[in-house]
Amino acid sequence: MKGSGPALLLAHGAGGGIDGNFGLVLDDLARDHTLIGPHYPGAGGSPLATEPLDLDELADQLVASAVAAGQESFVVLGESLGSAVAVRIASRHPERVRALVLTAGFPVADPVLALAAQLIKTLAGAGQWRDMARLACLSCLSPTDLADIAPADLDALVTQTLAGMPPGTVDHFDLVSRVDVRADLGHLSAPTLVVAPTGDRLVLPQSSYRLAAGITGAKLIELPGAAHILNEADRTTWLRHVREFLGTLPAKSA
C-alpha cells in the first residue's frame, strides 16, 4: 500500500507485475490516492499457484487485499489481463467499485493473443524461456521503440526482459487463454474509461473497442501508435487521461 486518499486497486497483466505495468506513474498517483497493488500467484514474490488460476478467485483475492488494507471501496485500474480481472471484480462486487480504468484489455482472447498464449505455453514446456523473452520484446514494444535499439543491444534487451518475467508467467497466460467476461459487460454500472493503445501487437485494439462497446456509458480513448507496454511518453498521456477521468467521479462518501 502506498499514498493516501481515495483508493486505487491495481490489477496487473500476465507475466508482469505492479512495477512493470504501473511503475512510471506510481509516485504521481500516490500523491492523492491510496494505491493497493497485490500480485497474482507467481508474481512479485507471491508463491506459485498449485492449481490453474481461476478468474473469480483472483478477483476475490484482489478485493480481499483492498478490504484488508482498510479500503471498502475503490477504483480498479486493470492492464491487459488485469482488465478482465477488473471487470470480474465489478461484476462480483459492484458495491465496492467506484469506477474502472481498462487499458489494453480484452473480454476474451482475440486471435493474436490466443496464438501468443499458446506459443508461450509451448515454449515454456520446452524450457525455451529466452525465446519467450524474445516473443515478449516483439509483441509488447512498438516498432518505433525497437527501431531505436542498436542491433548490438538486442541481446541485452532480451536478457532484461527475461529477468523481469515472473515464475508465474505461464500460469497467467493459461488464464488469458480461458478468460471470457463478455457476459459481464452489459451488467456493469460503474463509470468506465477504456484506453486502447492502437499500436498494440499482443492485444488487438479491437479488443478494447469491444470492451467499450459492451459497457454502457464507457468512455473510449486511443493512444495512437502506443504499444502493449506503454513507453514513458505514452504513459504520460495515459496519466493525463486517467487523472481527467478520476476528476469526474463523485467524491467518496465518508
Query: How do residues 225-243 score in pLDDT, each as one tens digit?
Result: 999 999 999 999 999 999 9
Residues 141-162 have a mean pLDDT of 91
Q: Is the pLDDT of residue 151 over 90?
A: no
Closest CA to 240 of 227, 213, 212, 221: 221
| Tens-place pLDDT, residues 72-131 | 999 999 999 999 999 999 999 999 999 999 999 999 999 999 999 999 999 999 999 999
44-76 pLDDT, tens digit each:
999 999 999 999 999 999 999 999 999 999 999
Average pLDDT across the chain, whole number: 95
Residue 10 has phi, psi (to 5 degrees) of: -100, 130
Q: How far apart are CA 206 and CA 173, in angstroms?
A: 20
> Across the chain, which distance is largest between two alpha carbons, in Å?
56
Q: What is the mean pLDDT of residues 192-197?
A: 98
Query: Which amino acid would we find at residue 133?
Result: A
Sheet with 192-197, strands from edge to edge, namely: 2-3, 34-36, 7-11, 74-79, 97-103, 192-197, 219-223
Q: What is the pLDDT of residue 35?
A: 98
- The domains of the chain, with CATH numbers, are 7-111+171-248 (3.40.50.1820)
